[in-house]
Amino acid sequence: MADLRSINQEARGKSHVVVFDIETRRLAAEVGGWDALRKGEGGISCIVVWDNYTDSHNIYTSRTLEAAGRHLESAEYVLSFNGIEFDVPVLEGCLKRRLVLNGHCDLLQLVWNSISGRRKGNRLDEIAKRTLGRGKIGTGASAPTLADEGRWDELYAYCANDVFLTRDLFKFAGEHGGVVGADGNLLHLHLPLEFSEWGL
């Protein structure tokens, strides 16, 4: 976890925001379905947390999940893509405890709220390519294989890229009021009123 005691005063003048993503050790089909995976039964191979106080990312493994949980809990706002329905439940299942987050803003939830429901064409890769002109560098389905083969650098890079995409989509939304929707037009998102204080 970042040593927040060493953060300079300029950084302390803005809200403490982190962006995170996890990769599971096993796939849903291997552990009996998505519900089992969300309960933590598929384990976690890595968690990447980008921190606006340090403008850097931390990598956590299955051995440092509690530290990852504390890092998320230390922030005023946690940002994610589908973290509310997936990443947080998985981490809570692995930790065997609830996370106490001060604030959580989920980009996918914002998109669903804006289009009044769940529709195809709104995965992270799709939204990022439309909005940022770049997308994911792999698939979540390949993450367990990378771990099995000991290709940890590739796994960490893949997870970190998802975090950077999520962070940059939030930045874009803050500057433009939303992200590019499936129809190619700006999809307005209802960002929290305090978004301008987040210092992304």
Q: Please tell me the pTM assigned to this model.
A: 0.90
Domain containing residue 63: 4-197
Q: What is the pLDDT of residue 7?
A: 47
Number of domains in the chain: 1
Q: Name the nearest CA neighbour of 68 among 98, 41, 47.
A: 47
* pLDDT cut 70: percent of the chain above it: 93
Integer-rounded Cα radius of gyration of the chain: 16
Q: What is the pLDDT of residue 195?
A: 79
pLDDT beneath 50, residues of the chain:
1-2, 4-10
Q: What is the pLDDT of residue 43?
A: 95
Q: Say if residues 90 and 40 touch (Cβ distance below 8 Å).
A: yes
60: which strand partners?
A: 47
What does the pLDDT look like over 109-129, one tens digit per residue?
Answer: 999 999 987 787 799 999 999
Q: Say if residues 91 and 66 touch (Cβ distance below 8 Å).
A: no
What CATH number did the domain enclosing 67 receive? 3.30.420.10
